[in-house]
């Protein structure tokens, strides 16, 4: 039986010291590029695999981060995970990724199974988590980052943007385009502070323009294509219909466009539709989707840097909300010039 390669074998083949070989595998950013390249070639040639259990026992670290997401179906999370993973690799860490499919109880079970096997830190999405999640974090003394979130009460833990602000600006844009009959498909609010912020931001923006967000036009549906389809089916099941549907994600919005197509509802002439995230599909669907562009990759990169800084006890900079921008495309119709001012004012009073 062939003996397993050791770190000393790697160092010998690479022509470097044992310490340099060890640093190349544990903290590659601290090693000169040419040294790192030689060590990586030696590792590949020898088929060397580090003894993770022994390393963790000696250093009390596993060099592994747990990242738990609400779903892996949404492209924004896939892009963010890729950025998180690549950044962690460069910092000498690995990542274990899991999804709880928007089931809070499942998130606790997932996290328990992962931390009991040994991780150095946790990356979660949002601030709304079951008490059991934070209990596990405290029990194991693990640093954590709340990505896709801003929370002034947790200044060192959050990396994200303001859903409230993004929702306000999208609703403001919709009103500027002449819409007064506005429906919202924000996701499901229970257990999701980001959805509640969308509702609050939309309501605040309409109130600032003297309008009211009708409760029966807040259609809570999952972040899926079917969720968007279902919202349109409900809203167009009566003769009292909105002129625009603001969706919480692009996935919902694309589903809504598909349902409109199947029902013969012209978008945006009969119903304007907007989304959020600005995934690649948003610019490919017909009509192209008006949406909120969010800093997807940046969230992954900064979350990785922040969790490693927390683990290694380095000073943290101030946590700032990342910027979002509105991306105007053809799915939102400007109806502000479609009818005379006096007629539009009369209709506004009726709503």
Q: What is the pLDDT of residues 243-253, one digit of tens each?
A: 999 999 999 99
Residue 6 CA to residue 12 CA, distance in Å, equals: 10
Q: How far apart are CA 298 and CA 82, in angstroms?
A: 11
Listed in sequence order, the DSSP H helices in the chain are: 7-14, 18-26, 33-46, 52-59, 75-90, 104-115, 131-140, 163-176, 193-208, 225-235, 250-263, 296-312, 341-350
pLDDT in tens, 268-283: 999 999 999 999 999 9
Q: Inform me whether the pLDDT recorded for 169 exceeds 80.
A: yes
Over residues 78-100, mean pLDDT: 95
- Please tell me the predicted confidence (pLDDT) of residue 235: 97
Q: What's the whole-number mean pLDDT along residues 142-162? A: 89
Alpha carbon separation from 230 to 47, 74, 190, 255, 272 (Å, rounded): 52, 18, 18, 9, 16
Between 341 and 15, where is the model more confident?
Answer: 15
Per-residue pLDDT band at 338 (split at 50, 70, 90): low
Contact 307, 280 (CB under 8 A): no
Between these two residues, 321 and 299, which has the higher pLDDT value? Answer: 299
- Residue 320 pLDDT: 76
- Least confidently predicted of 24-33, 80-89, 327-336: 24-33
| Residues 306 and 145 sit within 8 Å (Cβ to Cβ) | yes
Residue 3, pLDDT score: 66
298: phi then psi, degrees, rounded to nearest 5 = -65, -40
pLDDT at 58 over 70: no
Residue 325 pLDDT greater than 70, yes or no: yes
Measured distance CA(212)–CA(99) in Å, rounded: 36
More confident residue, 60 or 178: 178
Q: Alpha-carbon distance 175 to 52, whole Å?
A: 57
Tokens 């963010």 belong to residue: 80
**In the prediction, which pLDDT does 21 show?**
87
Indicate if the pLDDT at residue 54 is higher than 50: no
Residue 17 to residue 34: CA distance in whole angstroms: 14
pLDDT value, residue 57: 39
Res. 52: pLDDT tops 70: no
Which token pair is 213? 């967000």
Q: Tell me what the mean pLDDT of segment 78-102 comes to.
A: 94
Tokens of 109: 């079970």
Q: What is the pLDDT of residue 60?
A: 57
Position 342 pLDDT exceeds 60:
no
Residues 6+ away with beta carbon under 8 Å from 269? 333
What would the pLDDT profile of 172-184 be if each residue is shown by its tens digit?
999 999 999 999 9
pLDDT of residue 43: 87
Residue 279: CA atoms inside 13 Å, Cβ hemisphere, count?
20
Q: What is the pTM of this model?
A: 0.79
Is the confidence at residue 44, as pLDDT, over 50?
Answer: yes
Other CB atoms within 10 A of residue 198 CB: 29
> If you average pLDDT over every residue of the chain, what do you get?
89
Residue 10 scores a pLDDT above 60: yes
The pLDDT of residue 172: 97
| Phi, psi at 255, each rounded to 5° | -60, -40
Per-residue pLDDT band at 314 (split at 50, 70, 90): confident
């Amino acid at each position: 039986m062939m003996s397993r390669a050791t770190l000393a074998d790697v160092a010998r083949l690479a022509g470097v010291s044992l310490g340099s070989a060890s640093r190349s595998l544990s903290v590659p950013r601290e090693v000169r590029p040419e040294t790192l390249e030689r060590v990586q070639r030696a590792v590949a040639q020898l088929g060397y695999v580090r003894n993770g259990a022994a390393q963790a026992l000696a250093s009390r670290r596993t060099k592994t981060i747990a990242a738990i997401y609400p779903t892996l179906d949404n492209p924004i999370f896939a892009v963010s995970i890729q950025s998180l993973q690549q950044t962690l690799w460069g910092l000498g860490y690995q990542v274990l990724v899991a999804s709880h499919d928007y089931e809070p109880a499942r998130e606790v079970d997932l996290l328990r199974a992962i931390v009991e096997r040994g991780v150095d830190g946790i990356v979660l999405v949002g601030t709304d988590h079951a008490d059991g999640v934070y209990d596990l974090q405290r029990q194991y003394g693990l640093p954590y980052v709340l990505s896709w979130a801003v929370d002034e009460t947790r200044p060192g833990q959050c990396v994200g943007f303001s859903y409230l602000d993004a929702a306000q600006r999208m609703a403001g844009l919709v009103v500027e385009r002449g819409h007064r009959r506005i429906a919202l498909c924000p996701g499901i609010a229970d257990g999701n502070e980001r959805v509640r912020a969308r509702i609050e931001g939309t309501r605040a923006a309409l109130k600032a323009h003297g309008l009211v967000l009708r409760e029966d036009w807040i259609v809570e549906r999952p972040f899926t294509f079917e969720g968007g389809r279902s919202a349109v089916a409900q809203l167009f099941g009566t003769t009292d219909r909105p002129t625009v549907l603001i969706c919480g994600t692009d996935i919902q919005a694309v589903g809504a466009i598909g349902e409109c197509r199947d029902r013969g509802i012209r978008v945006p002439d009969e119903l304007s539709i907007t989304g959020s995230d600005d995934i690649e599909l948003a610019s490919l669907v017909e009509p192209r989707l008006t949406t909120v562009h969010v800093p997807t990759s940046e969230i992954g990169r900064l979350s990785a840097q922040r969790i490693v800084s927390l683990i290694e006890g380095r000073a943290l900079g101030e946590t700032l909300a990342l910027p979002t921008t509105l991306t105007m495309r053809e799915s939102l119709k400007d109806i502000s010039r479609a009818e005379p001012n006096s007629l539009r004012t009369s209709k506004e009073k009726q709503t």
